Structure 1
Amino acid sequence: MSEIRLGIIGLGNMGTGHVQYLIDNEVQGARIAAVCDRGSERLKWAKENIGNNVELFDDLDRFFAFDGLDGVLIATPHYSHTELAIRAFERGLHVLCEKPAGVYTKQVRLMNEAAAKSGKVFSLMYNQRTNPLYQKLRDLIASGELGEIRRTNWIITDWYRSQSYYDSGGWRATWAGEGGGVLINQDPHQLDLWQWTTGLKPKRLRAFCYFGKYRDIEVEDDVTAFVEYENGATGVFVTTTGEAPGTNRFEICGDRGKIVIEDGRLHFWRLRVPEPEFNRTFKGSFGQPECWKCEIPIAGVESGHKGITQNWVNAILHGEPLLAPGEEGINGLMLSNAMLLSTWTDGWVNFPIDEQLFYDHLQRKIGRNDQIAAQ
């Protein structure tokens, strides 16, 4: 195979964005062969912009029956991600899916099982993994430069959204339409990077989510969470869509220093002597390890969505390792689910979470008590 015949499902804001860089030939080895969207205007746009060599579908059954595809890119509302991915795997297609992986881990686990069974290449659109700042952070931690992590703290409050944003679609910020608020809509990237860069496994979590605190919406728009990790470290995650001006500051402290990512820069305060060693040998009344503020070279530029797409295509054609394996989407989603579940149950949530309990609570929020009874 020298070229991937690609089908795109969903021509909303994200779907059309993917179409644009593909038709501009910014991804090598992929050609749009078909698109599917229920909106006639969106299909008209596709015909005018992609050309006559693309098949247009307004029906998923006919789209999946089309035999001219090798892979699909899913850019639809959250709830449909897992269902469409499973259908694609069963059809023998490779899958690239927009974030989040799904709304609840119970369904995402089924998607991961279908991916493994199919043997096809599965990637998730975690485009911020292409950011060299986070790649360097991950490298510094994995190589041991920061030592053993003791604390993480991410304040991500620059997701400001006005009431008019939420009023622009009846599905927005509803349990039935999106399955959550800031955690499922804005924060999937940070929740992914939080665990991807540090490599830490959460042990238990306590969170406080506030629903419709700043806007007239059903779902959470302000969250503070505290997590304990298996190695004894702790972490705090703070997010909201109702704060201006916002902050995006990720701080990680290890026994060899501290790293802060903020304002598009990485700063590393490195201890000359690891803190445990200093504490063991120091005999004075007051003192602390000598600390150097190091300038860490950051190479490369963030390739974003097209970078993830190119990586997925290269993985199919040439066996290139995936930067964002689709199966890892469940990790950040479990953090999101745990934060909501902790709030709903007013207590600690252990990992892995009780997936059925979260599902039941979510159905109650949607108003589907009949589905709970049927389980």
Structure 2
Amino acid sequence: MNKIRLGIIGMGNMGSGHLRSIMKGESPRITVTAFADIVCEKLDKASEICPSAKAFDNAEEMLDSGLIDAALIAVPHYDHPKLAIECFKRGIHVMTEKPAGVYTRQVREMNEAAKAANVKFGIMFNQRTNPIYAKAREIVRSGQLGERKRLVWIVTNWYRTQAYYDSGSWRATWNGEGGGVLLNQAPHNLDLWQWIFGMPVSIRAFCTVGKYHNIGVEDDVTIYGEYENGATAVFISTTGEAPGSNRLEISGTKGKLVLEDGKLKWWKLKEDERVTCFNCKDGFVWPESDYEEFTAEEPDGHPLILNNFADAILDGAELIAPGEEGLSSLSISNAAYVSSWTDSKADIPVDEDTFEKHLSELCHSEKIEKKTVQVSESAEKLSERWKVRW
């Protein structure tokens, strides 16, 4: 086998975007042989893009068809785990859109099922392919920044209008998406936070519901994370601020990184700050440093993730974003919710029973009364819409 036969589940913005990308030849080791959606109009549009693929109005019928080796899941969040596990039962490899699920128990079960079936399971964390983030990870994880001290990420340029939220009755609801900015816009950032800096051991968070929009989930978040070595992290995000910012600052005992405006700025101390602190006799000395700047053109990460997925299936390549790591970013967001709901610190791993109890109560009490309105979509390509916005 020199190509994988891919079936796409969900032909909305993301699913159809991936289909177009593959049809343009951006993933040469993948051929789309089938797709599924419960909306006939979406199937018709997909068939126009790829007439050779078989259309299904039922995902499980597609999984049973024998037409696919792997599935790309691009449906609402709650359905990711259920569909992935159905794939694993049939020995079908899975690439899922982010987040892997709404709560950590789901994702643990997904990974257990993938392992038992001995299949590949990846997550569409396409921003891991950005050379600037990859460089930051290399610097931090190699010890070049010394002992970790602090991460501060202000990513407030996820602006959304009320029309965006009104465009679907499932949007910005506990029943439909399982949360707001943390579950919809910020999963990439939460993934990069832990991928670069590591996982915190506890979270204190403030998730404000409907601060800037008429919605019943959070659109403004501040998270404070604590690490085993005493390091800390602050993460701030919202969909209600314009023009917004995207600035990631990481400090260690050997220097500082700042990622902003498409650049990585690196101040390298000539001596570890802890050595200077306790050995220098001058009370007002300023540690000397060298400065470097790193820039790189951002690739279209979606095809890169899909190509890596194909290489993992065909050649045994290591996945850029394996399913196990979908648990990490979701652990942060689940802990943030628990902290906000209980007005207290939440440990990681998160108390799954507490999270699911509160989420169930919110879903049960939620009243979805908003009218779905037709909104205009910008003409951006998928690759442009999901590039890093500096």
Common fold: TM-score over 0.5: yes
**Cα pair 1:205 1:348 within 8 Å, conserved:** yes
Question: Aligned residue for 1:353?
Answer: 350
Give the C-alpha shift of residue 368 in structure 1: 6.8
Distance (whole Å) between structure 1 residues aligned to residue 189 and residue 93 of structure 2: 26
Question: Aligned residue for 2:20?
Answer: 20
Question: Aligned residue for 2:78?
Answer: 79
Distance (whole Å) between structure 1 residues aligned to residue 269 and residue 60 of structure 2: 60
Q: Deviations over 1:255-280 (max 9, x none)?
A: 00000001111000111111011112
Question: Which ranges in structure 2 are unaligned for 5 or more consecutive residues?
Answer: 367-390
**Cα pair 2:247 2:260 within 8 Å, conserved:** yes
Distance (whole Å) between structure 2 residues aligned to residue 221 and residue 279 of structure 1: 41
**Cα pair 2:263 2:293 within 8 Å, conserved:** no
For the pair 1:288 / 2:286, whether they are aligned, the reply is yes
**Counterpart pick for 1:219 among 197, 217, 220:** 217
Point out the more displaced range, 140-149 or 90-99.
Answer: 140-149
Give the C-alpha shift of residue 303 in structure 1: 3.2
Question: Aligned residue for 2:244?
Answer: 246
Distance (whole Å) between structure 2 residues aligned to residue 61 and residue 81 of structure 1: 13
**Cα pair 2:332 2:348 within 8 Å, conserved:** no
Give the C-alpha shift of residue 324 in structure 1: 0.6
3-state SS of paired residue (2:219): strand
**Letter matched to residue 316 of structure 2:** G
Aligned residue pairs total 366
Q: Deviations over 1:218-253 (max 9, x none)?
A: 000011111101111011010111011100011000
For the pair 1:59 / 2:65, whether they are aligned, the reply is no
Distance (whole Å) between structure 2 residues aligned to residue 299 and residue 171 of structure 1: 37
Question: Aligned residue for 2:100?
Answer: 101
**Cα pair 1:278 1:288 within 8 Å, conserved:** no
Question: Aligned residue for 2:323?
Answer: 326
**Cα pair 2:199 2:328 within 8 Å, conserved:** no
For the pair 1:339 / 2:330, whether they are aligned, the reply is no
**Letter matched to residue 259 of structure 1:** L
3-state SS of paired residue (2:268): strand
* Percent identical residues: 51
Question: Aligned residue for 1:372?
Answer: none
For the aligned residue pairs, the C-alpha RMSD in angstroms reads 1.2
**Letter matched to residue 356 of structure 1:** D
Distance (whole Å) between structure 2 residues aligned to residue 285 and residue 47 of structure 1: 71
Normalising by the residue count of structure 1, what TM-score does the alignment of the two structures yield?
0.96
Give the C-alpha shift of residue 356 in structure 1: 1.2
Q: Deviations over 1:9-31 (max 9, x none)?
A: 00000000000011111101111
3-state SS of paired residue (1:284): coil
**Letter matched to residue 9 of structure 2:** I
Give the C-alpha shift of residue 69 in structure 1: 1.0
Q: Deviations over 1:99-151 (max 9, x none)?
A: 00101111111111111111101110000000000100111112211111100
Distance (whole Å) between structure 1 residues aligned to residue 147 and residue 349 of structure 2: 23
Question: Which ranges in structure 1 are unaligned for 5 or more consecutive residues?
Answer: 370-375
Question: Aligned residue for 1:373?
Answer: none
Q: Deviations over 1:332-353 (max 9, x none)?
A: 0110011111010010001111
Point out the more displaced range, 339-348 or 61-70.
Answer: 61-70
**Cα pair 2:88 2:113 within 8 Å, conserved:** yes
Give the C-alpha shift of residue 295 in structure 1: 2.6
Distance (whole Å) between structure 1 residues aligned to residue 277 and residue 76 of structure 2: 52
Give the C-alpha shift of residue 326 in structure 1: 1.4
**Letter matched to residue 45 of structure 2:** W
Normalising by the residue count of structure 2, what TM-score does the alignment of the two structures yield?
0.92
3-state SS of paired residue (1:307): helix
Distance (whole Å) between structure 2 residues aligned to residue 195 and residue 205 of structure 1: 13
**Letter matched to residue 160 of structure 2:** R
3-state SS of paired residue (2:201): strand
Give the C-alpha shift of residue 285 in structure 1: 2.6
Q: Deviations over 1:170-196 (max 9, x none)?
A: 111000011000000000000000000
For the pair 1:317 / 2:314, whether they are aligned, the reply is yes
Question: Aligned residue for 1:124?
Answer: 123
